[in-house]
């Protein structure tokens, strides 16, 4: 009788834009992954249908969000923030890899 299901909230525009940027960057890698896995049809769909749609959405959001001088400043600030975040993630990844290798080395030395 009554539908008590809550309506799914939309993500903020800046978060949607960020996800589109990530998706647009990942398109070539997704296509390669599908090809390697033998899913050639999915690779074609991503390449000729989904990819251009994502790029178009990204372009329209870029125009809307980064227009004018304030937009250029915002774009530069976001790019720098993104760059620093990626660097931090890479450093964390390398530290975890190094720690894992050190643990393996310690185990090997104890066994001897």
The string of pLDDT tens digits covering residues 17-60 is 999 999 999 999 999 999 999 999 999 999 999 999 999 999 99
- Measured over the CA atoms of residue 17, residue 20, residue 26 and residue 28, the dihedral's sign is negative
> Cα–Cα distance between 7 and 15 in angstroms, integer?
19
> Cα–Cα distance between 31 and 13 in angstroms, integer?
27
Q: Is the pTM value of this prediction over 0.75?
A: no
Instruction: Say if CB 91 and CB 97 are below 8 A apart.
Output: no
User: Per the structure block, which two tokens stand in for 63?
Assistant: 């125009």
Element (H, E) at 111: helix 68-111
């Amino acid at each position: 009788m009554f539908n008590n299901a809550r309506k799914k909230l939309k993500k903020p525009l800046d978060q949607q834009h960020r996800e589109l940027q990530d998706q647009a960057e990942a398109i070539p890698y997704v296509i390669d992954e599908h090809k390697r896995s033998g899913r050639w049809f999915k690779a074609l769909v991503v390449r000729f249908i989904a990819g251009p749609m994502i790029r178009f959405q990204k372009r329209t959001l870029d125009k809307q969000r980064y227009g004018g001088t304030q937009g250029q400043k915002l774009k530069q600030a976001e790019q720098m923030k993104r760059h620093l975040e990626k660097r931090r993630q890479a450093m964390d990844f390398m530290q975890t890899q190094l720690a894992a290798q050190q643990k393996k080395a310690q185990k090997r030395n104890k066994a001897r």
